[in-house]
Amino acid sequence: MMNNSFLTKLRVQFDHLKSVAEIHRHFENPWVIVLLRMGLIKTPYFLYRIKQQNRRYALLARPTTTSCADLFVLREVLVEEAYKDALALLTTKDIRLVDVGANLGSFTIWAHQVVGVREAFCFEPEPDSFRLLNFNLSLNNCSTAKTYESAVGGESRMIRILLKKSSPGGTSIYGQNDSPEATNVPVIGFKKWLAEVEGGFDLLKMDCEGAEWEIIRQTDPKQFLRFQVVVAEVHDDPEGKRSIPEFKRSMETLGFHTVRWDNKSQGLYVGTRTPIPAPKK
């Protein structure tokens, strides 16, 4: 019988082969990307050109030899289309969306190409990621997106944030960072921001490294009536007040019908206000 360590190594090798195959199939200059991953070519930024079906993307990102985190995000969002369950629930095209934790802009750019975006509000607190966000939105003709160099939380405040170089998308707003390289950035209270913006929204996407918990805890439940669909990458509660399974229950208390629930840290929750039809017998 194979032991767990051997199975783990097999899964790692399989994932590596899968990623290389996806790079060759969907990315231009695949061998350059492989050499960047191996550290044989070094550059702080690289323009990734990606094709998926009839769609074409170009995004500037940060190749690293440690986690290749930006490349992973591009594969996950644009190639594997990890959020497709959420878009399938939308009842209209040319949507209005809120993107909390916009990072490189890949989610909004993807949604723009798949269903069209008439208006987007993109929040990204980390300065380097924010610059890339604006560049990528412009490069991919997302002229209807408005960007905010800020995080989103339950209440407004100022924090100090430092780019997590090994995994830029994992930069968190939690923990006071006293490094001289850290930057002061604002956290916008979600309830405060919603009070200043009129109208309903088709989609709320949250990938904000744990801030989703304080957002749903401290925002007036009535404000969530303004969203048709919610998709969130769920992380452990930074305050330790709730366990992962409680996120699904919280969203259902807010009136959402669960469509997908991975029930694990960094897994997805997808919910909709439209009741799910019962399966035919």
Q: Which of 214, 268, 270 is nearest to 242 (CA)?
A: 214
**What structural domains and CATH numbers belong to the chain?**
1-74 (no CATH), 82-272 (3.40.50.150)
Strand, helix or coil at 120?
Answer: strand
Q: Are 148 and 188 in contact (CB under 8 A)?
A: yes
Name the one residue in this structure whose structure tokens are 């019988």: 1
The total of other beta-carbon atoms located within 10 Å of residue 95's CB is 22
What distances in angstroms separate CA 132 from CA 50, 51, 66, 88, 154, one per listed residue? Answer: 16, 20, 20, 28, 26
Q: Are 132 and 142 in contact (CB under 8 A)?
A: no
Kind of pairing, strands 151-153 and 267-272? unpaired
- Give the span between the Cα atoms of 110 and 129, in whole angstroms: 17
Strand, helix or coil at 97?
Answer: strand
CA angle 268/5/269 to nearest 5° reads 5
Instruction: Kindly state the DSSP code that residue 174 receives in the 8-state scheme.
Output: -
- Give the span between the Cα atoms of 253 and 276, in whole angstroms: 16
Q: Which of 206, 171, 165, 173 is nearest to 68 (CA)?
A: 165
- Give the span between the Cα atoms of 162 and 126, in whole angstroms: 7
- Give the span between the Cα atoms of 71 and 50, in whole angstroms: 11
- Give the span between the Cα atoms of 207 and 57, in whole angstroms: 21
CA angle 255/263/188 to nearest 5° reads 60
* pTM score: 0.90
What distances in angstroms separate CA 211 from CA 50, 153, 187, 279, one per listed residue? Answer: 30, 6, 10, 35
Give the pLDDT of residue 231: 98
pLDDT tens digit at each of 281 positions of the chain: 456 666 655 565 556 566 778 888 999 999 999 899 888 999 999 999 999 999 999 999 999 877 789 999 999 999 999 999 999 999 999 999 999 999 999 999 999 999 999 999 999 999 999 999 999 999 999 999 999 999 999 999 999 887 777 777 777 888 766 777 888 999 999 999 999 999 999 999 999 999 999 999 999 999 999 999 999 999 999 999 999 999 999 999 999 999 999 999 999 999 999 876 655 55
221, two tokens = 């439940």
Rg (CA), the chain: 19
